[in-house]
Structure 1
């Protein structure tokens, strides 16, 4: 049997006043994607011929976001928010030739899973229904529409909380507000919607009643996990949904072979990838397109964003953004890798080190208290404590090249553009602004001179002077 054409309509026009935000509700983020981004990702599993997003409040921002995350989706503006039925009709009017199955979803249900949508459509199409309602069984249905069933257990109606009897209020099967429809029958039902209600709006639930009255069947499919149907109305609910998703993501990772010392403080975006045999210590965030290879250890107290970590690497108490950490390399503690920082295999970036737009070669070390910007470091080099690559002259950035097996002494400044050739040394405390040839020692500092008796003459009576007097007396003895 050939699968019917499928079309997705995403309702995302609401203002979301309870969010109390200048950002449209649909754009608030949950573990790496916007609320609507999660729904669109789940809907991709349906392989829809068309995805139509109904926008309204913040239409320009929402449309711009859609262009980034779902460029094939089309938008239609609901100028006035006159109800879910009206929004669906606005979308269908922009798709006059659509046939087959139309799936109507909400943009604020980030926990909706692709498997649930696939099952909804399969049940709808196999049953030949005019509509199929996605339902859920919940412990506390307060405020939600209840599913009423007939004597045979079939769908009979949806009753809202305010209209329900005491017996109906005890029902725990609720309407998610998400549906699969037969396109042609949906068009007919939408034409019959009225605004005879307290809000003066067109409700999509009325379409179900009209279909039943016309003798068509309406089916149901119950989500395996009620969380799939949860929406978001305010910041408290947003945090709650984020916590539920955290548990989902972490559970899946641990079942796949990832060790988490403390799942409660581990936050992994849905866009990140973590291989088996990775160990994640407490207080770790893996954000964006971060990829962690097998055998690596991350944390504690680390945030990695859009970062690639190779096999067997270690990242401890570090912050990374757009960086690459090679196999068996080590980062931290208290290190900062900025965009385009690249550590080769077995490289080391240590305590209080910042690296930006630089490559640290295989086996090379930047162990302590250093800044490396716009530099290329060869293999097996050692950059001493307190070294600064001075890459900015106030007008432009310049590049520094440090060769293989170079040793840069502590507290040195390499003033770009400059090249420290293979197999050379830089003396500690140097300010280098000229190239150092291979096999040379670069020294760029003033000669030391000691002024004897200066303390006694210039700082008489101080504790330093007294210590010097004692030392002089001991020397005379």
Structure 2
């Protein structure tokens, strides 16, 4: 059996993190999401195909191996992405969306004995997703984002198909968005063949918005089996709770760490740093004197050297904060923090949310960044600036 991972999306809703990396390379602790998916699915299949955008080909070739990359050169949407592999799939296969994370990977076993199947996930907010309508445990149809959902069971983005699905893809028309929607083909298939709904009640997340990066890493940290220490910890360091300290990490005197926390390999912490619960330092990070970090994901090579507060934020790779850079994560009115997503203000569902900062950003000294602000990759923030709006890709922002 083979597997197909759809990873051709541009990840616009995850900008500015996706200014410098494809969406499937969002880190889950120190491992990209797609590598975690491949590692799990390889237990059940002989070959893995990954459908990618031609614009991301170089990045995938550099950062992934042992799979066959297929470029989606025509059309838009999940249906067009799947059609890109039609010439290389001639047997039953498992299909996974590249931005989906599931906590209990053993559910994949249940797909093996089915000819056609779809993962049905129970959620509290079904109207935000494609909702499954069932009959005797089989799929009847998929209703996209209904105002009044017929159930709380949604499309979980994992399928098992026979090659027959390609014939149905040839029959569907473009959606209102101008895309070929795989779900239209699945609904058509369900009218003529049995599509088993495999129900799942465990942790599931579609990593589609920036704060979802915090959500998925928080779940993984909550489920750490135990603490690990492969680094060097100086005297007068206090560590509480589950903390993973990677190879080559150095934690200097006066540092206080409250787990769960993940500190990736090669990172240097302290002296006198404070890492609060749900902090993830992916790799080769620097957290220096009088720096406090809480519930944030800080990606490879980024440095917060001195006198900073970072709360409830996502910071991409190779970012450097000038001394005294502060991120606010709570509005004065304590209302939900909203974020601009593709030109619209979208509620995060979070009372506390800091900044979303793209790769290679630099801030000057004494910069203040307000809640929900996004800063595009390669931006420069002048010293003393109060960043009260989104900053574009490569923009120089003055107070």
TM category (shorter chain) comes to 0.5 to 0.7
The 5 A counterparts of 1:117-132 are 117-119=108-110, 121-122=111-112, 125=113, 127=114, 129=115, 131-132=116-117
Contact kept in structure 2, 1:39 and 1:112, CA below 8 Å: no
Shift of 1:61: 4.4
Unaligned runs of 5+ in 1: 1-5, 259-267, 274-279, 292-298, 308-315, 323-333, 335-477
Shift of 1:64: 2.8
1:207 maps to: 185
Going from structure 1 to structure 2, the CA distance change for 1:133 and 1:281 (only over 3 Å counts) comes to same
1:26 maps to: 24
How many aligned residue pairs are there? 263
2:322 maps to: none
TM-score, structure 1 as length reference: 0.48
Does 1:172 pair with 2:152? yes
Deviations 1:104-152 (A, max 9, x none): 1111123454312122x23xx2x4x3x20101111222311111123x3
1:51 maps to: 48
Going from structure 1 to structure 2, the CA distance change for 1:81 and 1:34 (only over 3 Å counts) comes to farther
Does 1:13 pair with 2:11? no
Deviations 1:150-206 (A, max 9, x none): 3x3432111112xx363xx25211111221112x322322222322x2012211112
Deviations 1:73-117 (A, max 9, x none): 010111245111110110232x15x31x31111111234543121
Contact kept in structure 2, 1:42 and 1:113, CA below 8 Å: no
* Cα distance between partner residues in 1 of 2:245 and 2:48: 27
Name the larger-Rg structure. 1
Q: Name whichever structure is richer in helix by fraction.
A: 1
Contact kept in structure 2, 1:12 and 1:53, CA below 8 Å: yes
* Cα distance between partner residues in 2 of 1:199 and 1:12: 19
Runs of 4+ in 1 over 6 A off after TM superposition: 316-322
Shift of 1:235: 1.6
1:439 maps to: none
Contact kept in structure 1, 2:75 and 2:180, CA below 8 Å: no
Going from structure 1 to structure 2, the CA distance change for 1:198 and 1:303 (only over 3 Å counts) comes to closer
* Cα distance between partner residues in 2 of 1:156 and 1:244: 32
Going from structure 1 to structure 2, the CA distance change for 1:52 and 1:28 (only over 3 Å counts) comes to same
* Cα distance between partner residues in 1 of 2:161 and 2:182: 11
Larger relative contact order, structure 1 or 2 (CA cutoff 8 Å, min sep 6)? 2
SS at match of 2:164: helix
Contact kept in structure 1, 2:256 and 2:272, CA below 8 Å: yes
Going from structure 1 to structure 2, the CA distance change for 1:207 and 1:287 (only over 3 Å counts) comes to farther
2:76 maps to: 82
Contact kept in structure 2, 1:11 and 1:54, CA below 8 Å: yes
Shift of 1:288: 5.3
Going from structure 1 to structure 2, the CA distance change for 1:207 and 1:304 (only over 3 Å counts) comes to closer
* Cα distance between partner residues in 2 of 1:317 and 1:153: 57
TM-score, structure 2 as length reference: 0.57
The 5 A counterparts of 1:91-110 are 91-93=85-87, 95-96=88-89, 98-99=90-91, 101-110=92-101
SS at match of 1:142: helix
* Cα distance between partner residues in 2 of 1:207 and 1:83: 12
The 5 A counterparts of 1:323-362 are none
* Cα distance between partner residues in 1 of 2:80 and 2:130: 19
Which of 157, 161, 181 lines up with 2:141 in the alignment? Answer: 157
SS at match of 1:157: strand
Which of 217, 221, 226 lines up with 2:194 in the alignment? Answer: 217
Contact kept in structure 2, 1:134 and 1:179, CA below 8 Å: yes
RMSD over aligned Cα atoms: 3.9
